[in-house]
Amino acid sequence: MKVLLILNREPYDGTDVTWNALRLAWKLLEKGNEVRIFLMNDAVDLARNETVKPENYDQDLVAILKDLIAK
């Protein structure tokens, strides 16, 4: 199955929306699916090296995206 995830929220906005999308992408990849992630609007910050994880976040969403891209 081919899946396209479209993210449009800023990465660290106080919600789990981006984190959940990236977790979904991992699970789909683990199941052998083809996953594409399209970043638009504020979500583009997820692909910028300048974007850093705030201290109050457990997950580094930028690093997770880079790992997904490498896979």
Distance CA 59, CA 57 (A): 6
pLDDT band at residue 71 using 50, 70 and 90 as cut-offs: confident
Distance CA 5, CA 37 (A): 5
List pLDDT tens digits, range 38-48. Answer: 999 999 999 99
| Residue 43, SS3 per DSSP | helix
Mean pLDDT, the chain, integer: 95
Could you tell me which residues come within 8 angstroms of residue 8 by beta carbon, excluding any fewer than 6 positions away?
Answer: 39, 40, 41, 42, 43
Q: What is the DSSP letter of 64?
A: H
Q: What is the pTM of this model?
A: 0.90
